[in-house]
Structure 1
Amino acid sequence: MSVLELRAVSKVYGQGVTEVVALHDVDLAVDPGQMVAVMGPSGSGKSSLLTIAGSLEAPTSGEVLVGGGKLAEMSRDELARLRRRSIGYVFQDFNLLPGLTAVENVSLPLELDGLSARRARAAGMTALERLDLADRAGHFPDQLSGGERQRVAIARAVVGDRRLLLADEPTGALDSSTGEAVMRLIRQACKQGVAAVVVTHDAQSASWADRVIFLRDDRVTDGTSPPAGPESLLAPGPGFPSGPAL
């Protein structure tokens, strides 16, 4: 059974002359252990796809299922529980709580779900260590660089027993070496059965995925397995947009 399914999902914002179609009849299934990269030009609906997949907003039409459960049939409490326990989300703007340290930000979802503070902090520290942030665990977000805040957000998204990881440009604020470490961590989560959807403009990051899909003009226009190396993603060719579309 797929961890995530989008069935004929459409999303429309506004009405009349202000109407904007973000997604139109999008179908997508992501299985356990699979990483799917989503690429496409700005405004093609990539971020809308993630927020709908993560139950942060509802589609205008179509169905979204996570772990076989239909999101439209869940109560607000059930959706909150699903996000807390099963879905890890990496936002472009990090969304870290300014009054909590790095390790407290990472361990908070586990504590909210009833894990003891000691065990939650231990799990948080492990996640930070994997991203070379153990020495920054006691620092607050405004004491961290942009790249460090991004890595804390990644650690928070993968800590605990998550089934679905949704990442919006997870390597956007990172240098190539740290970006590779982040993608390796996401890949490691997939090896443990997590399903991941990663929105990216970066061909190097997309090359870590099992599948690459493209959004253009609110539709999925092509899907493919990544070629042998990231350099081939940079070259124009069938199914791969060139220039600013990446």
Structure 2
Amino acid sequence: MTSALGLSRVSKTYGKGASEVHALREVDLVVEPGELVAVMGPSGSGKSTLLTIAGSLEEPSSGEVTVGGMALSGLSRNERAMLRRRHIGYVFQDFNLLAGLTAAENVSLPLELDGTSLKTSRAAALAALERLGLADRADHFPDELSGGERQRVAIARAVVGERHLLLADEPSGALDSVNGEAVMRMVRATCQGDVAGVVVTHDAQLASWADRVVFLRDGRVVDQTAEPDGPESLLEADPAR
């Protein structure tokens, strides 16, 4: 089976000399299809940098990134953009929905931008919304939706079409605990079959929805756990983590 995402000795450095910052240091990470991985760590540990590099929004200073077995270093800028549109979905903390478009139009937009017909794009968008329990809200605008509903629309947009890698940066950070749990439950349900997910979160309870938790500190992977008790046992063992 080809891994959905692979990072091999990936490092990222910003600046030079005295201002040099090592955001990532030789990170190795493999995420298989159907697997959900949570990434935790203190502020500045490299969590968001890991996501942007995994999604080809940034290039590593060294190391190799593969998506679906395809090495990103061998792709042109246009090919990477096409890969993002077709195979990688993003969920952001602030949703990033367009206020002037309905839920269905927000979800179908990436497909339309990639040249898919309006009819096919809408059908795919409605199917994605239905899977997330939003079929009856398809023609509502974002300001007519609750926070939890807007986040579900953002998730639907991230997985519509043939996308196989879901990347989420604090997807429940703007929600209360009840809606935060609901979002993680939906992300968990989405990551099955050939869809894999990587979620950055600061909440150990929410991270327990993942199959595996990866801890970053100072740009390095310092721990991983796949224990059924989730990450809380490691957090309790090392309160500084």
Do these two structures clear the TM 0.5 threshold for a shared fold by scoring above it? yes
Which amino acid is the alignment partner of residue 48 of structure 1?
T
For structure 1, which segment, 139-148 or 92-101, has the greater mean C-alpha deviation from structure 2 after superposition? 139-148
Which amino acid is the alignment partner of residue 11 of structure 1?
K
Q: Is the 8 A contact 1:131 1:182 kept in 2?
A: no
Q: Is the 8 A contact 2:94 2:174 kept in 1?
A: no
Secondary structure in structure 1 of the residue aligned to 2:30: strand
In structure 1, stretches of 5+ residues that fail to align are none
What's the counterpart of residue 190 of structure 2? Answer: 189
What's the counterpart of residue 69 of structure 2? Answer: 68
Select the residue among 218, 237, 242 that pairs with 2:239: 242
In structure 2, stretches of 5+ residues that fail to align are none
What's the counterpart of residue 27 of structure 2? Answer: 26
Matches within 5 A, 1:72-221: 72-221=73-222
Q: Is the 8 A contact 2:148 2:183 kept in 1?
A: no
Which amino acid is the alignment partner of residue 26 of structure 1?
V
For structure 1, which segment, 38-47 or 14-23, has the greater mean C-alpha deviation from structure 2 after superposition? 14-23
Q: Distance in 1 between matches of 2:67 and 2:84?
A: 10
For structure 1, which segment, 9-18 or 33-42, has the greater mean C-alpha deviation from structure 2 after superposition? 9-18
Secondary structure in structure 2 of the residue aligned to 1:99: coil
Superposed CA deviations along residues 85-142 of structure 1, whole A, max 9, x for unmatched, are 1101112232323432221111112223333322322322233344444454334445
User: Cα distance 1:20–1:234, how it changes in 2: closer, same or farther (>3 A)?
Assistant: same
What's the counterpart of residue 11 of structure 1? Answer: 12
User: Cα distance 1:91–1:233, how it changes in 2: closer, same or farther (>3 A)?
Assistant: farther
The Cα of 1:20 is off from its aligned counterpart by: 1.4
For structure 1, which segment, 193-202 or 129-138, has the greater mean C-alpha deviation from structure 2 after superposition? 129-138
Q: Distance in 2 between matches of 1:108 and 1:130?
A: 18
Identical-pair percentage: 70
RMSD: 2.2
Which amino acid is the alignment partner of residue 17 of structure 1?
A
Q: Distance in 1 between matches of 2:73 and 2:41?
A: 27
The Cα of 1:176 is off from its aligned counterpart by: 3.1
Q: Distance in 1 between matches of 2:50 and 2:137?
A: 33
> How many residues are aligned here?
240
The Cα of 1:15 is off from its aligned counterpart by: 1.7
Q: Distance in 2 between matches of 1:21 and 1:140?
A: 42
Q: Distance in 1 between matches of 2:39 and 2:121?
A: 32
Q: Distance in 1 between matches of 2:11 and 2:92?
A: 22
Which amino acid is the alignment partner of residue 181 of structure 1?
A
Q: Is the 8 A contact 1:33 1:195 kept in 2?
A: yes
Q: Distance in 2 between matches of 1:177 and 1:145?
A: 13
For structure 1, which segment, 111-120 or 133-142, has the greater mean C-alpha deviation from structure 2 after superposition? 133-142
Which amino acid is the alignment partner of residue 160 of structure 1?
G
Q: Distance in 1 between matches of 2:214 and 2:41?
A: 8
Superposed CA deviations along residues 177-235 of structure 1, whole A, max 9, x for unmatched, are 333332232222222221111111112221111111100111100011043367x4586
The Cα of 1:145 is off from its aligned counterpart by: 4.9
What's the counterpart of residue 55 of structure 1? Answer: 56
Q: Is the 8 A contact 2:7 2:30 kept in 1?
A: yes
Secondary structure in structure 2 of the residue aligned to 1:57: coil
Superposed CA deviations along residues 26-69 of structure 1, whole A, max 9, x for unmatched, are 01011111111100011110000000000001011111111111
Secondary structure in structure 1 of the residue aligned to 2:197: strand
